[in-house]
Amino acid sequence: MALLFLGLPLISFAQVYTPDIIDSKLAIEGANYHGYLTYFDRKVGTVKKELWTFCNQFGHLTKKEKYYTITLSKIYNEGNVDLTLFVLLSGEDDKSSLSIALNTVNLPQDKLPPYHEQTKTLLLNFKKTFYQKYIDNKIQNTKKLSRKYKKLSRHPDQELAAYDTMKQIASINTEIQQLVKKIKALE
């Protein structure tokens, strides 16, 4: 079983983040498939976990030897055939890439453009959901820290701890604003 990834630029992980969804080619088991590639500024394991959750809402994600497949029932893809998507995750440290391609075997050629567009939309929706969930978690952390700050600020002997808590809140708020910009860049 040969697996080559042709769309990944050599310097891809020098990038911190890009909202772009890039056309790419994915070669799986000796066949080339048109697909899409995007980058995340998070670890591969984090992206994989969220992808699993996201895909299980409408399809079935299966791990193969070096890639994943997503099977979309015809009920969910507005068509009359089940669709299979190939997914490849790769990365290092806090950077990862996600590639997705439609398995075009046994699909009518006239249906490919809308299916490719749906594949791209699926990747875009996943990326938005991924960062929105991260923002929601950060907001929950901020709420907890705000309650902590409120308690600490009532006691003059806890002034330094209250100040440190306020710095944490400010840092999280800055991170939330950056994440919001990332989501807006996707639209």
What is the tens place of the pLDDT at every residue in 155-169? 889 889 989 999 999
Q: Considering only 17-21, 123-127, 145-149, which range has the smallest mean pLDDT? A: 17-21
- pTM for this model (two decimals): 0.78
Is the pLDDT at 3 greater than 60? The verdict is no
Q: How far apart are CA 9 and CA 1, in angstroms?
A: 23
For the chain, give the mean pLDDT. 84
Task: List Cα–Cα distances, 11 to 8, 40, 121, 185, in angstroms.
Answer: 8, 14, 26, 22
> Last residue of some domain: 130, 150, 170?
130
> Last residue of some domain: 130, 147, 172?
130
Judgement on whether residues 119 and 175 belong to the same structural domain of the protein: no
Q: Considering only 76-80, 99-103, 119-123, 144-148, which range has the smallest mean pLDDT? A: 76-80
Judgement on whether residues 32 and 119 belong to the same structural domain of the protein: yes
Judgement on whether residues 49 and 93 belong to the same structural domain of the protein: yes
Is the pLDDT at 40 greater than 60? The verdict is yes
Confidence of residue 129 (pLDDT cuts 50, 70, 90): very high
Looking at the 3D structure of the chain, how many domains does it have?
2
Q: How far apart are CA 90 and CA 96, in angstroms?
A: 6
Judgement on whether residues 60 and 104 belong to the same structural domain of the protein: yes
Judgement on whether residues 10 and 59 belong to the same structural domain of the protein: yes
Judgement on whether residues 91 and 115 belong to the same structural domain of the protein: yes
Judgement on whether residues 40 and 71 belong to the same structural domain of the protein: yes
Judgement on whether residues 58 and 120 belong to the same structural domain of the protein: yes
Contact 25, 34 (CB under 8 A): yes
Judgement on whether residues 22 and 110 belong to the same structural domain of the protein: yes
What local confidence, expressed as pLDDT, does residue 61 receive?
A: 87
> Last residue of some domain: 130, 153, 172?
130
Tokens 């003059």 label which residue? Answer: 156
Structural domain boundaries, residue 174: 132-186
**112-117-122-126 Cα dihedral, nearest 10 degrees:** 140
Each residue of 68-104: b (16+ CB within 10 Å) or e? bbbebeeeebebeeebbbbbbbbbeeebbbbbbbbbb
| Bridge partners, residue 61, by sequence | 70
Report the CATH number at residue 89. Answer: 3.30.310.80
Q: How far apart are CA 16 and CA 40, in angstroms?
A: 8
What local confidence, expressed as pLDDT, does residue 186 receive?
A: 75
47 token code pair: 């992206």
Judgement on whether residues 32 and 99 belong to the same structural domain of the protein: yes
The residue ranges of DSSP E strands in the chain, in sequence order, are: 3-5, 22-28, 31-40, 59-63, 68-72, 83-92, 95-102
| Residues with Cβ within 8 Å of residue 65, at least 6 apart in sequence | 1, 3
Judgement on whether residues 158 and 87 belong to the same structural domain of the protein: no
Judgement on whether residues 9 and 27 belong to the same structural domain of the protein: yes
| Bridge partners, residue 35, by sequence | 24, 101
